[in-house]
Amino acid sequence: MSRGKTAAWRALESVDMSKTVSSVVSATTAALRRAGIPEPQLSVEHLMAETLAGSDGSRNRVGTLALAHDRALTDTETAAFDSMITKRLDRMPIQMILGSWDFHNITLKVQPGILCPRPETELLVDLALTGLSSHASPRVVDVGAGTGAIGLAILNEHQHATCDAIDIDPAAVTLSLSNASSLGVADRYSCRADGIGPFARWHSASRSPPYDMLVSNPPYIPDAVRGTLSPEVERYEAGTALFAGHDGLVVLREIIDSLDTLVTPSAPVLLEVDCSHADRVVELLSHRRPRQAVRIECDLDGRPRFAVAM
């Protein structure tokens, strides 16, 4: 595993790939820790499990490490593991290296340049499902589809729901539609390349019926934070999916301004937001939806993360 003499590559020079899987995992974890890679053990275990699952053709990562801990890697496995560790040293997110990731009871294909599904966004799906519990056949609009995570997770749980999604990135549209097909819900899911303003105008001009819910994990990070996020985020996820003006509210304002056109007066609205402007989003949403109760819900770390109108 010899590389150029950068600090990251020097950390790997002590890894003997001829040892047992267990030894390689331990040594590589220590090497990634020395190189400053976040969550080194989780990274190595995921990548080794993928290496072993791929080599036996099962594509099943569960249990592969425990079953193979006392054997050595084959040459093919060594090359595959080496390639994935190389990408991790370049700070590519684990999800993108693996090419797929689990999110709220579904598995999604992921790729560089498109926002990876976050654990906290699963809470947004839970809130949405609660808001749809009394709807027999709800129509949902998802603004900023990305991989399709939110809309597809809702469809997976609500068998009679449909979802129309939008994203300004054509690659995200293609990926979300591919995920919908893989999950067997393509007949209930659509995604088009559009921004919220043009989509709202098209929706109005087409005289389409209003939606029963709007859900969105839009760009919401203030521009001032640009350059301070982790390399995993700034190198491999599109800035257009992350940043939204000096206060992070550019897209959120457009969404809130479009609500009267897109959804019914009583439709739940669920927005993922930045903790720095959560109170301001509540103000904007309360002004636009005066007949609904508007509140903030916190994420897994207790930070204000979701603005909800129901």
pLDDT digits (tens, 9 = 90+) for 128-160: 999 999 899 999 999 999 999 999 999 999 999
Question: Would you say 138 and 263 are in contact if contact means Cβ atoms under 8 Å apart?
Answer: no
For position 266, what pLDDT does the model report? 93
Q: What is the pLDDT of residue 1?
A: 43
Contact indicator for 52, 62 with CB cutoff of 8 Å: no
Give the pLDDT band of residue 56 (cuts 50, 70, 90). low
Chain-centroid distance of CA 215 in Å reads 14
Q: Residue 5 pLDDT more than 50? A: no
Q: How confident is the model at residue 71 (pLDDT cuts 50, 70, 90)?
A: confident
219 touches 143 (CB < 8 A): no
> Amino acid identity of 46?
H
Band (pLDDT 50/70/90 cuts) for residue 19 is confident
Chain centre to alpha carbon of residue 292: 28
Give the tokens for residue 119: 């654990």
Q: How far is CA 240 from CA 55, 140, 237, 243, in A?
A: 37, 23, 9, 6
As beta bridge partners, residue 186 has: none
Instruction: Give the pLDDT confidence of 99-132 residue by residue, as tens digits.
Output: 999 999 999 999 999 999 999 999 999 999 999 9
Instruction: Please check the confidence at residue 13 and state whether its pLDDT lies above 80.
Output: no
Q: How would you class 205 by CB atoms within 10 Å of its CB: exposed for 0-12, middle for 13-18, buried for 19 or more?
A: exposed
Res. 57 pLDDT band, cuts 50 70 90: very low
Helix (H, G, I), strand (E, B) or coil at 161: coil
Would you give the DSSP letter of residue 118? P
